[in-house]
Structure formats: C-alpha cells, structure tokens
Amino acid sequence: MGLRAYILKRTINSFILLIFVLTINFAIFTLMPGNPIETLAASGRLRPGQGQQVLELWGFSEPIHVRYAKYVVNMLTWNFGYSFHSQSPITYEMTGRLQNTLLLVGTSSILAIVIGVLLGVVAAYKRGGIFDSASVVISLITYSLPSFWMGMLALMFFSFNLHWFPSQGSVPADWATHWPEPAFQGSVLGTQIAIPSLTEIAGRIHHLFLPMMVLTLFAYGGYLLLTRATMLETLSEDYVITARAKGLSERTVLFKHALKNASLPIITNVALTFAFLLTGAIITEQVFTYPGLGQWIWGSIAYADYPVMQAIFYIIALCVIIANFAADLAYGLVDPRVKYG
C-alpha cells in the first residue's frame, strides 16, 4: 500500500472513530444525572415559568434522535452553543482561555521534552556513572511527587516568602483597567494583528514562570526515563558500532544514528502529550488560579455545565485522533524501516 492510499484509509478510519466518539459523548451527557433547568433555577437566573422556554431553546423537548442529529452537526461545525453557567457563547469563552493554556502547557511541554530527551541521551551514554544515577533518581522523584504539592511548595517559597513571583492570575491585576499598549497594531495583508509590547511580554512571563516550572519538573522525568531505556537498547546495535568504527564523532553517533532509530516510542509519547495539550493542567491551574482551559474544565464539572464539558471532551478526542494520525505518518519519515500497509 502506498502513502496516498494509507493516508486515505487512515482518514476514513479516523472519521468513523470521530463519529463513534461523538456518539459516546452524547450518550454520556444524555444519561448523566442532574437537570440543567434545576441548576439554573437554583442560581436565581430563571424567572417563574421560564423553564419550559429554556428547554425548547436548548432542544431538550425534542425527540432524542433529533437532538443527536443536531448535536453531531453542531460539533462538526464547531457550533458549541451557550454555557449553562455563564450563558455566554462557549466558543468565545474558550478562545479567551486558549491562549493562556497554550502558553502554559505548550511551553512547559516543549521544555520537558527537550530537557528530558537530551538528559536521557547523556544518561544512556554515561550508563552506570554518577550522572546516570543522579539523573534517574532526581527524575523519579520529580515524576512521582504530586504536581499540586510541588505547586504549593513553589508558592510558599517563591511567592509568599521571597515575593519573587505572583501567586495567581496570568497577568497583573491592574491590567484589568489599563492594558499595556501594543508595540504594533494594524492591518497586514488585510489581517488585523497586534504585536504585544515588552511590558506585556514581561508581565505574562512573570505570572507564567512558577506554574510552567512546576509542570516542567513534573513532566521531564518521564521523557528522560523513556529516552534512556530506548537508547540503551539502540547503543548496542551493530550499526552504532559500525558508525563508531568509521570514526564519526560521538555526538553524531548518539543523535543522528542512535536517537533517530530509538525515537519511535518517544514520538508516540510526544504526540499524546500534544493531543492532551488543550485540556490544560487542571490541578496546576487550580493551585495557581491560572485562567486556562484546565480551570474552566474544573468549573464546568462543579457547575454541571454539560455543554462546556461536551465541547471540551469532543475537542480532546479530536486532538487525540489527529495526534495519532500525525504520529503514524511521522514513523515512516523518521524510520525508513517502517512500511505503510
């Protein structure tokens, strides 16, 4: 089977899987206990006699097959509706929190991958030495400690005791009334863009540092241990011995020959990491009161905000499907021994 045929087959299978996920997602929230009208009434947002109007507005009075068809169409067209709790468009709320989560989880994930892979390669090369033993022990400790506990320690030392970093938020509190002027704001090729100023960048980094540090320390150990294990198997292969016999530098042998052929499990792990990127770091965002998607998920569970949870779970599943699809294609690009079939 050629590459084009394989891509077509995987695309069809991925779409079928997506429909299956949508069906399960719909069934879970249809059978879930609780009444959204009672939730709204308890919050004081409904006037007497308004419950039936809300039921008709959200389609709860229609037959289940009609609701399912509308649900599938809405999810595929990214029409997520309105939040039960805030009664704001879900897409609007998601957009506002998305950039915070991408900054936090995306940056920490990239740092964890780079640090973990590099240290894993060095640890495998220096197997049995002091560096190997120390890096493995430290990575096991940080990988085993609860992220909320590390976050609380970081807040206690760096925020409450030393006062080096803020304890909550993604930007300074006074920006709510006076946001820094952008360095550039205008139209480029018909598209409106705004380049943040150095003041805005510095303010975001100041609030981002502590939760990013905690997530990086928590995640890098897994990549170090995985890279070390796969590299130890690869370094004893004949082609590595042959590369050294040719007089190639040790850096070339490690990264071009050994790591490239040991990278398939790492690619799978990286793909899954970025697949769950949009879920945010639920616990860490709660500890640092960071307004990202993770905190939004927590709030939607607390308020039984089913439309928000449906939209988030659908996006998570979609990201996982896309990430696995991309990982399957990357296998063949990294390792020519992998055949599409």
Structure tokens at 323: 């990430």
Written as one string, the DSSP assignment of 9-65 is HHHHHHHHHHHHHHHHHHHHHHHSS--HHHHHHHTT---TT-HHHHHHHHTTTS-HH
Which letter does DSSP use for residue 171 in this model?
A: S
Closest alpha carbon to 270 in 226, 302, 206, 304: 226
For the chain, the distance separating the N- and C-terminal CA atoms, rounded to the nearest angstrom, is 5
What is the Cα 106 distance to its own chain's centre?
7
Residues in contact with 107: Cβ distance below 8 Å, sequence separation at least 6, in sequence order: 208, 212
Q: Tell me, what's the pLDDT at 115?
A: 92
Which neighbouring-strand residues pair with 288? none
Three-state secondary-structure class, residue 109: helix
Predicted structure pTM score: 0.77
Q: How far apart are CA 4 and CA 270, in angstroms?
A: 24
Q: Tell me, what's the pLDDT at 44?
A: 59
Three-state secondary-structure class, residue 178: coil
What is the Cα 253 distance to its own chain's centre?
33
Q: Cα dist. 23→19, 70, 76, 81, 131 in Å?
A: 6, 12, 12, 18, 50
Domains of the chain are 3-76 (no CATH), 91-174+196-334 (1.10.3720.10)
**Contact in structure between 143 and 225 (CB atoms under 8 Å):** yes
Other residues' Cβ atoms within 10 Å of the Cβ of residue 335? 14
Provide the pairing of β-strand 184-188 with 191-195: antiparallel
Which H or E run includes 195?
strand 191-195
- What are the backbone dihedrals phi and psi of residue 80, each rounded to the nearest 5 degrees, phi first? -85, -5
Specify the residue for token string 């609860």.
146
Closest alpha carbon to 211 in 263, 138, 286, 139: 286
Q: How far apart are CA 133 and CA 124, in angstroms?
A: 10
Each of the 341 residues of the chain gets a pLDDT tens digit; together they read 566 777 788 888 888 888 888 888 888 877 776 666 666 665 555 555 555 666 665 666 677 888 888 888 888 888 887 777 777 788 888 887 888 888 888 888 889 999 999 998 888 888 888 988 998 899 888 888 888 888 889 889 998 888 888 888 777 777 767 777 776 666 666 666 767 778 878 888 888 899 899 889 888 888 898 888 888 888 777 777 787 787 777 788 788 778 777 777 888 888 777 777 666 577 888 888 888 887 888 878 777 777 888 888 888 888 888 888 887 777 666 666 666 55
Residues in contact with 45: Cβ distance below 8 Å, sequence separation at least 6, in sequence order: 87
Write down how long the chain is.
Answer: 341
Other residues' Cβ atoms within 10 Å of the Cβ of residue 65? 8
Closest alpha carbon to 321 in 71, 6, 11: 11
Angle of helix 90-101 relative to helix 306-334, nearest 10 degrees, comes to 50
Structure tokens at 312: 């988030």
